[in-house]
């Protein structure tokens, strides 16, 4: 465990404090942090390495990208020190700019994801779903499914939602891609199981949360 003065020393650097404030709100990649803060990748990475070594942040790999977030197991004392440091500077122009840039980056992330899923809508079941062995297991597990209300978030074309609708009380099939929703509705109409149509409601909803105020 880091001593309080060591944590305070970490928080005394403006770049590290800005990073922690952003990561307290949203998990972000190094490239996204670059875009928000307008700094070189090497500078951001070196500061993140210090924060990770101190146990303030955690990282995970997704393909070639590294995503960082505030350590969820951060102690209460360290959280209190971080909150106090952020309160002292939250009204500064730099943090206002970070807040606006963060919202822009999250919007961009959502748009990229939506464009991708609009592009593959109609081909998802053929090219991106597991094979017959998975389907057989799914049908077996379906018999254990209780009569409950289900919200399938990010449901894509709704193939799994249609299966669940055969047993569940109601299934809400929710996706952010207009094209996915359109394809899902077409597939639901074609299904041979009438209960899948009766119990299934396919909706377009905003699945990405808005960044809260810093």
Q: Which residues pair with 149 in a beta bridge?
A: 170
Per-residue burial over 180-214, b = 16 or more CB atoms within 10 Å of its CB, e = otherwise:
bbbbbbebbeebeeeebeebbbbeeeeeeeebeeb
Mean per-residue pLDDT over the chain, rounded: 77
In this structure, what DSSP letter does residue 210 have? Answer: P
Taking only the tens place, the pLDDT of each residue in 26-46 is: 999 999 999 999 999 999 999
Structure tokens, 115: 């464009």
CATH number of 130-204: 3.40.50.150
Q: Are 200 and 173 in contact (CB under 8 A)?
A: yes
**What proportion of the chain, given as a percentage, has pLDDT over 90?**
25
pLDDT confidence band for 122 (50 / 70 / 90): low
Helix-helix angle 178-190:93-120, to 10 degrees: 30
Taking only the tens place, the pLDDT of each residue in 49-98 is: 999 998 899 999 888 888 999 998 888 888 888 888 888 877 788 888 99
Task: Tell me the C-alpha to C-alpha distance, in Å, between residue 168 and each of 143, 162, 186.
Answer: 11, 10, 21
Q: Where are the domains of the chain?
A: 4-90, 130-204
Is 4-90 CATH 3.20.20.140? no
Taking only the tens place, the pLDDT of each residue in 102-121 is: 999 988 888 777 776 666 55
How many CA atoms are closer than 13 Å to the CA of 55, on its beta-carbon side? Answer: 10
């Amino acid at each position: 465990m880091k001593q309080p003065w060591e944590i305070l020393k970490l928080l005394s650097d403006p770049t590290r404090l800005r990073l922690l404030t952003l990561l307290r709100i949203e998990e972000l990649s190094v490239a996204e942090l670059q875009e928000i803060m307008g700094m070189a990748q090497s500078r951001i990475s070196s500061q993140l390495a210090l924060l990770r070594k101190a146990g303030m942040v955690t990282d995970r790999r997704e393909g070639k990208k590294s995503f960082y977030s505030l350590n969820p197991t951060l102690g209460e004392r360290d959280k209190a020190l971080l909150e106090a440091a952020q309160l002292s500077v939250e009204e500064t122009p730099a943090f206002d700019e970070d807040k606006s840039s963060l919202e822009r980056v999250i919007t961009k992330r959502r748009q990229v994801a939506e464009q991708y899923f609009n592009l593959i809508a109609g081909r998802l079941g053929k090219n991106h779903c597991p094979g017959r062995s998975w389907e057989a297991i799914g049908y077996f597990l379906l018999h254990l499914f209780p009569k409950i209300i289900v919200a399938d978030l990010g449901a894509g074309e709704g193939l799994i939602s249609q299966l669940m609708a055969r047993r569940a009380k109601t299934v809400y099939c929710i996706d952010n891609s207009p094209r996915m929703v359109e394809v899902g509705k077409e597939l639901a109409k074609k299904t041979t199981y009438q209960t899948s149509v009766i119990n299934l409601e396919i909706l377009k909803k905003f699945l990405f949360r808005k960044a809260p105020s810093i």
